[in-house]
Amino acid sequence: MKLNSKGQVTIPAELRHRLGFAEGDEVQVVEDGNTLRIVHGEAAATRGNRIVNRLRGRANTDKTTDELMELLRGE
């Protein structure tokens, strides 16, 4: 792994998935002696919150509540 000119590194996908890191997550870099640790930030969202945030505002809202109820429940 190489540090680029902006001081950035890419965390391998397998590690991100296994440790629960996702795009947009807040992370902290913690100094631990001569080692740097990348840890979840305090405001890290749950997987469900990340999905909701990504989908927020994308719903098709051209139907009334009654039309949606009929579509979903057959009423």
Q: What is the pLDDT of residues 53-75, one digit of tens each?
A: 778 878 777 888 888 888 888 75
- Residue 45: is its pLDDT beyond 80? no
The larger pLDDT score, comparing residue 3 to residue 25, is at 3
Q: Is the dihedral of CA 18, 42, 56, 64 positive or negative?
A: positive
Domain boundaries defined on the chain: 1-58
CA distance 38 to 11: 10
Put simply, whether the predicted model's pTM sits higher than 0.85 gets the answer no
Of 51, 24, 52, 25, the C-alpha closest to 40 is: 25
CATH of domain 1-58: 2.10.260
pLDDT tens, residue by residue, 16-42: 999 988 888 888 899 999 999 998 887
User: Which contiguous run of DSSP H or E holds residue 64?
Assistant: none
Q: What is the structure's pLDDT at 12?
A: 94
Confidence of residue 44 (pLDDT cuts 50, 70, 90): low
Residues 6+ apart with CB under 8 A from 9: 1, 2, 3
